[in-house]
Amino acid sequence: MGGKLFFFYYIHLPRQHLLVLFSLLSLAVASQVSASWYSCSIKGLPLVRNLTNAPQSNYGRGGLSHLTIAGAVSHGMKEVEVWIQTMAPGSGTPIHRHSCEEVFVVLKGSGTLLLSTTSMKTRHPDEPHNFPISMNTTFTIPPDEPHQILNSDEHDDLQLLVVISQPPIKVFIYDDWSMPHTAARLKYPYYWDEECFQYNAKDEL
In this prediction, residue 8 carries a pLDDT of: 35
Q: Is 96 annotated as a binding residue?
A: yes
Fold of 64-204: Jelly Rolls (2.60.120)
Q: Is 129 annotated as a binding residue?
A: no
- pLDDT by residue for the chain (205 residues), tens digit each? 555 443 433 445 565 544 544 444 444 433 333 444 456 765 667 888 898 888 899 998 899 999 999 999 988 999 999 999 999 999 999 999 999 999 999 999 999 999 998 767 889 998 999 999 999 999 999 999 999 999 999 999 999 999 999 999 999 999 999 999 999 999 999 999 998 987 554 444 4
Cα 186 to Cα 170: distance, rounded to the nearest angstrom: 7
Q: Is 147 annotated as a binding residue?
A: yes
Q: Is 101 annotated as a binding residue?
A: no
Residue from 150, 148, 131, 142 nearest 95 by CA: 148
Domain boundaries, the chain: 13-41, 64-204
- In degrees, rounded to 5, the angle at the alpha carbon of residue 152 between the alpha carbons of residues 150 and 153 is 135
